[in-house]
Each structure stands twice: as C-alpha cells, then as structure tokens.
Amino acid sequence: MALKAAVIGLGRMGSTFDDEMEQGGPIFLPYCHTPTYVASPLTELVAGADPHEEQRSIYGARWGVSDDHLYEDYREMLEAEKPDIVSICTTARVRHQILLDVARSSARAIWAEKPIALSLSEADEMVDVCDDLGVKVAVNTARRYNPYFSEIRRMVDDRELGDVLQVNIHAQCGLSHNGSHAIDTMRYLARNGNATWVFGEMESDEEAAGDDDLSGNGYVAFDNGIRGFLRATPCGVANWETDVIGTEGRVRTLAGCQEVEWMHLAPGGPRGRGVPAHATIPLPATVEGMGITIVSDLLSSVDTDRRPRASIHDGRAALEIAIALRESHRRGGVRVDLPVEDRALKIMSIETKEDHTPARVRRLQAG
C-alpha cells in the first residue's frame, strides 16, 4: 500500500521546478518533491501546506489537490492528515523548527531541502531529535542520487582509480546554499570522509566578517587520507566541475555533468610512464528520476534502520565544513580543526533574503 506523502512549502522545489526543465545535465526527472510523490508507486500525495494563499492556489490547480487538503498551518496538516513521509521545502530560516515538529509527529521519514539549517546548534538539535526518535531524514543534496556520480563512487569503492588522493570541486556558489551541493559532492566522492581540518579563503574580509552567505575557496583534509579542494569563487569555463584523482585513474565531470571523462594510463609513453587513455562513462540503459531514487532510498532506510544515502548527518557535515572554511579566513587563514567548537556559528543561506515573499511570486511580480 502506498504511503501518505505531504509537502510543506509549495513553491518551486516543492512543486513546479520540474516544469522549468528543458534540458538535462545533472538532473533527471522527476526531480523535485511533489512530482516525485505523484510518480512514485511507493507514495500517494495527500496534502500540502504553505502560509501563502497564492502558493496554495497554484499548487492545488497544478496537482489536483482540493482546498480541504491544503493548509495554511503545517501543524494542522500534520494532525489532520497524519502523513508517513513529509517534504520540507521552505526557506532555511524556518526549516529547523518545522523539521523538529515533523519528527515529533506520526511521520517516520522526512525529505528536506538544503541547507539543513542556519547554525551548527540548530543542526545538532535536528540530528539528535531525529536519531532519538528513529526518524530518517534525506537531505536534497541530490548529486548523490545522480547516476553519473553514483557510478564514479562505485569506481572509487571498487578501487578502479587506485587509491583516491584528491577530490576537486569547481562550483561558483554561496557556501551554504548551493555550497551544500558542492561540499556534499566532495565528501561523497571522498568516500564520505569526515573533515578533520580545513584552510579557507573567502571572497573578501568584509563578507567573511558577517553571517551572510558568501563564496570562498578552501582545502579540506579528510580522516581517510583523501584531500579536497573547493573553489566556490568565480570558476570561468570550469564552473560546476568535479575531478577525482587516484593513483591509477582519474574521473572528471565537465560543464554541470554534461560530459564525463575517465582517464587512465595505457602502457607506453616517455620512459614507460604511460600514455593517457580517455573514455567516457555511459549512462545505464534506463535512467530513473532522481526524486524516485531518493524516495526509494529514504523509505528503504526506514525499513532497514540505516541512514539514507544523503542523510541529515551529511547535511550537518556540509554546513560545518562551510562554517569552518569561513572561520579560517576570519582568523587570518589559519588551520581550523573540526568539529568546530562554537556551535552558535551560522551562515544565513542566500535563500533567506526577502523570504517574506516566495521566490516564485517575486519572479512573477518582476515580470
């Protein structure tokens, strides 16, 4: 029997992001939350909640949800509908409290947007409550569910690249907002290593001094010996690229994963040091929508009592690396060890700017 699914935050990622997609790249549809629940055989969409009447009206018309299943207050929805799985697609400003309320409801699974929180103390509480209650949380750092990145991770695990030495990410972004994707991808390809220390360089001293989202660069040391480099300042033609370098091979994704290149050394070359041999990584014959993969993994994690592939713990780890990189700059470019001691430190994800009005509504008003 399909599980009851509900969505909190009925904007673009909660509802209509997929409608904007005209080309692929790193995204395979269904991708965002409601289209996934409608398409998945494991779920039945039963309700949605959003404080903005315009959002609720658009949502109901788009997905055929009647007014009596659309709520201004998500707490009323949780009480009335008792969903099994809940998506949280709100601004990050309120995500912390909403996730705690959902975890304490009848729901056993949560699919939450990123960043998971604004501060480390918020993230810590979210992790502790969900772990104590046995609620599984998947964070929508969706590159973990992309078939290309899944295959690269398999190659890493099967040692087809030898010993992985370095994972480089080039992605112009704010460290908290889309930096959640960039940093999480680095950790995923570095065999989910835990960062032990970092060096960071932010876009300016002025930006680093505040709590607003910001871009920056950094070096990350993982506990498994792998090293990472992130460039989140402007990347030119190398934007949204990854590079996994091993002792026996190398895999790069180019231009937002529109091209994937696998390089290893064939016999020959000067002094027998090898000749670069290049190949691509083919897609599987059937590509499942990434949202379908996420929901399947999340619900399986409930049944088997394990962490989802992109768990709330991974979401906290990405935020902590971002904050540590900024702290390194604040302290004059020194090494910062993890875990970060001051758990009150935060980054105001860029999505919180003007979040009194939904982003979709602001776009419509702007023409």
- Predicted local confidence at residue 137, as pLDDT: 98
Question: What pLDDT sits at residue 275?
Answer: 95
Q: Is residue 311 part of a domain?
A: yes
The per-residue pLDDT for 123 is: 98
In eight-state DSSP terms, residue 348 is: B
Q: What percent of the chain has pLDDT over 70?
A: 99
Q: Is residue 244 part of a domain?
A: no
Element (H, E) at 124: helix 120-133
Confirm if 313 and 131 have CB atoms less than 8 A apart: no
Decide which of 318 and 365 is more confident.
318
Q: How many domains does the chain have?
A: 1
> Span 159-167, mean pLDDT?
98
Nearest to 227 by CA among 157, 168, 160: 168
- Give the pLDDT score at 78: 98
Distance CA 329, CA 326 (A): 5
> Model pTM?
0.97
Range of the domain at 106: 3-142+289-316
Whether residue 249 is contained in a domain is answered as no
**How far apart, in whole angstroms, are the C-alpha atoms of residue 195 and residue 198?**
8
Tell whether 346 is covered by a domain: no
Specify the pLDDT at position 321. Answer: 99
| pLDDT tier, 365 (very low <50, low <70, confident <90, very high otherwise) | confident
What helix, strand, coil percent values describe the chain, rounded to 5?
Answer: 40, 25, 35
Judge whether 240 lies within some domain.
Answer: no
Q: Which helix (H) or strand (E) holds 4?
A: strand 3-8
> Is the pLDDT assigned to residue 363 strictly greater than 90?
no
User: What pLDDT sits at residue 22?
Assistant: 84
pLDDT at 71: 98
Give CA–CA dist 294/10, Å, rounded.
19
Q: Is residue 106 part of a domain?
A: yes
Q: Is 263 left (phi over 0), alpha (psi -120 to 50) or beta?
A: beta
pLDDT band at 26 (very low <50, low <70, confident <90, very high): confident
Average pLDDT over residues 51-76: 97
Confidence band of 358 (pLDDT split at 50, 70, 90): confident
pLDDT at 25 over 80: no
The model's pLDDT over 88-130, given as tens digits with 9 standing for 90+, comes to 999 999 999 999 999 999 999 999 999 999 999 999 999 999 9
Q: Which residues pair with 45 in a beta bridge?
A: 5
pLDDT at 333 over 90: yes
pLDDT of residue 227 exceeding 80, the answer is yes
Kind plus residue range of the DSSP H or E element containing 297: helix 290-304
Which pLDDT score, from 0 to 100, does residue 131 have?
A: 98
CATH of the domain at 97: 3.40.50.720
pLDDT reading at 135 higher than 80: yes
CB distance 220 to 230 below 8 Å: yes
Provide the 3-class DSSP secondary structure of residue 234: coil
Rounded to 10 deg, the angle between the 147-157 and 179-189 helix axes is 30
- 160 near 332, Cβ under 8 Å? no
**306, part of any domain:** yes
User: Residue 269: inside a domain, yes or no?
Assistant: no
Contact 237, 259 (CB under 8 A): no
